[in-house]
Amino acid sequence: MLTRSLLSHWGINLMRILLTGSNGQVGTEFRKLGQGTAEIISTGSRELDLTREEEIRRFVRDAKPDVIVNAASFSDVDAAERNWDACFALNAMAPVVLAEEAHRLDALLIHYSTDQVFDGSKSEPYTEKDRTSPLNVYGASKAAGEQGIASSFAPALILRLSWIYSAQGDNILRSILRLAKHSSELQVANDQVGAPTSARSIARATERLIRMYANSRKTQFPTGIYHLTAEGATTWHGFASALLDATFRQRKPLVIPIATTEHSSFARRPRNSLLSCQKFMTTFGFQLASWQQQLEEVSAELPVETGAAGSELIHHDEA
């Protein structure tokens, strides 16, 4: 039962939200946040296969949402190199169909994109005005999704994220902890720069944006592309070191810095994944906490570990 106070907390009294990717990192956090406080139609790949255009159209027309949050994606960057058709279906075709259907219903589409639309050669954080030039199939598919959404003229908010992790599921944080349990040293790339961002912080920001949308005139709500990441910068090596500092009390494994080129068999990734969030902050009036504060919050949910033996190489599969 939705109470008046909960509804006014969300400010979305009569809003129906269609969530895709509800079993993923961001989707799970968004679903948990909204439980009991909003009408969320949660879908994973079993409920709605986003590679099937007609199924998407039928589902959205039946659901009649006011907001679509598209948290589904083909996120395995290395697998995308060999599965470009499946990757483009999910990351480029599906968002455009969702945008067209959102336009038809006069609904807002909130879609997530990535720092990997850039090649990482810039020495400063990327802004929304920088030209996209992806290095890999995943980045190309996400850039195509962005362009397709823009061409649909749907009211859409595209949030470019980077280096997402959470306490649950299969992600870089979980890989580091799993390997650290059984190893005396971990080798982690120290030549890519980014801002590790918790899935929960993205879910919270999304919830806040939906509240702003609910309380604004539809036509005045800002749409377009925005960068949204944690404040600050580090490398995967810096992130792994901070994570193990927070979660290991004794026999903490050594974290050895290595160069990314040592993982030569995988998709190329940008060296610089930093996104300037200035436009988001100026437009919406808030920003995400620093990557250290976010990691502290997530680490507090993790069990304290003791150490182990051996040596492991950390490889980052996810987007």
Ligand X SMILES: NC(=O)c1ccc[n+]([C@@H]2O[C@H](COP(=O)([O-])OP(=O)(O)OC[C@H]3O[C@@H](n4cnc5c(N)ncnc54)[C@H](OP(=O)(O)O)[C@@H]3O)[C@@H](O)[C@H]2O)c1
Report the catalytic residues.
138
Q: Is residue 242 involved in binding ligand X (CB under 6 A)? A: no
- By C-beta, is 59 or 213 nearer to ligand X? 59
Number of residues that bind ligand X (CB under 6 A): 29
R_g of the chain, CA atoms, integer Å: 19
Query: Which of 163, 226, 280, 291: binder of ligand X (CB under 6 A)?
Result: 163
Query: Which of 15, 107, 137, 161: binder of ligand X (CB under 6 A)?
Result: 161
Stretch that binds ligand X, among 122-130, 161-169, 245-253, 295-303 (CB under 6 A): 161-169
Q: Which residue is closest to ligand X by CB?
A: 24
Nearest approach in angstroms of CB 130 to ligand X is 16
Q: Is residue 236 involved in binding ligand X (CB under 6 A)? A: no
- By C-beta, is 67 or 90 nearer to ligand X? 90
Q: Is residue 239 involved in binding ligand X (CB under 6 A)? A: no
Q: Site mask, ligand X, residues 20-59, x = CB under 6 A?
A: xx-xxxxx----------------xxx-xxxx--------
Amino acid at 278: Q
Query: Which of 17, 18, 71, 214: binder of ligand X (CB under 6 A)?
Result: 71
What are the backbone angles phi and psi of residue 194, rounded to the nearest 5°?
A: -165, -175
Q: In this structure, are residues 260 and 269 in contact, taking their beta carbons and an 8 Å threshold?
A: yes
- By C-beta, is 26 or 92 nearer to ligand X? 26
Stretch that binds ligand X, among 156-164, 248-256, 261-269, 305-313 (CB under 6 A): 156-164
Q: Is residue 168 involved in binding ligand X (CB under 6 A)? A: no
Note the residues at the interface with ligand X (CB under 6 A).
20-21, 23-27, 44-46, 48-51, 71-73, 75, 90, 112, 114, 142, 161-164, 199, 318-319
